[in-house]
Amino acid sequence: MAGAISHHALASTHPLRWSAQNSRFEKKTGNVRLVYEGSFPSGSRKLGLVCASGSQSSVVEPVQIPSDGNSGHTPKKSSESALILIRHGESLWNEKNLFTGCVDVPLTPKGVEEAIEAGKRICNIPIDVIYTSSLIRAQMTAMLAMMQHRRKKIPIIMHNESEQAHRWSQVYSEETKKQSIPVITAWQLNERMYGELQGLNKQETADLFGKEQVHEWRRSYDVPPPNGESLEMCAERAVAYFKEQIVPQLAAGKHVMVAAHGNSLRSIIMHLDKLTSQEVISLELSTGIPMLYIFKEGKFIRRGSPVGPSEASVYAYTRVRTFHIF
């Protein structure tokens, strides 16, 4: 998948090979070879990356990228939809090592940088609709990421909390609507509610209650902290919302980005990758690293993390399975 290829890389003078016979060219930038298929220079096209690391190479299958509309040709409707999952960038309470849960705190400067970097990784992937939690750190991540997108569309939060809020936030220009991307916020995508642990320092809590007890609260699947949610409880609401609201968008051919939280995204990934309750409790998600899935014929295919402008990365790791990206 063509993920976040920098303008510098595209404009560089590395050798370019073009074959008119099969409408294909290859372009090498460092350890990345860009493979282009389709009509040139206009019309819809397919982009793929071949990345080499040491003596190994990995190939990411090409995914249809719609035309920019300037060629005069109507692009064929793709049978595939992209699903991008992003855990929010570092928050102020992440930085302070506090249990955050559903407390609404913003990003740190590092979190802002992580969100911008995430946007660069996905800047060439079409996005039609964005879902976030109701918490500001996820919304900031979505907005900052979209500012890096090649289409330069404006993300607009949909206010459907009341009839008046919906009416007052209407856009009456069809042209403006075409240049916008709806952002839908949902509490069901919120972080797991940590109950009476919210606001407490994680290390001090471990000292007070014991490391084993705190580890059980944090990493067990079905044991909640005092007056809080277990991962199982979080999964019930997050996965139900995903099935009811997001999957129909993908089935309709829409490309979707979800900016949410460690536990709500772990729940969704558990559903997509069919992880067991033992596998999911060991799943760790890095802040600000996007994960790409392709929805095709009713099935989800994991494509990993789109390649960044300068280097590849690791999206997630577990004791049971490791997801290395290139």
d(CA 222, CA 281): 10
> Integer distance in angstroms from the first to the last C-alpha of the chain?
12
d(CA 260, CA 191): 7
Helix (H) or strand (E) holding 238: helix 231-241
Of 114, 191, 229, 255, catalytic: 191
Residues in the annotated binding site for substrate: 87-94, 100-101, 137, 191-194, 202, 218-219, 262-263
Known active-site residue 73? no
d(CA 270, CA 277): 8
d(CA 274, CA 280): 9
Residues in the annotated binding site: 87-94, 100-101, 137, 191-194, 202, 218-219, 262-263
d(CA 181, CA 128): 6
Known active-site residue 14? no
Six-digit token pair at 266?
A: 């772990």
Largest CA distance in the chain: 70
Burial of 77 (0-12, 13-18, 19+ CB in 10 A): exposed
Active-site positions read: 88, 191
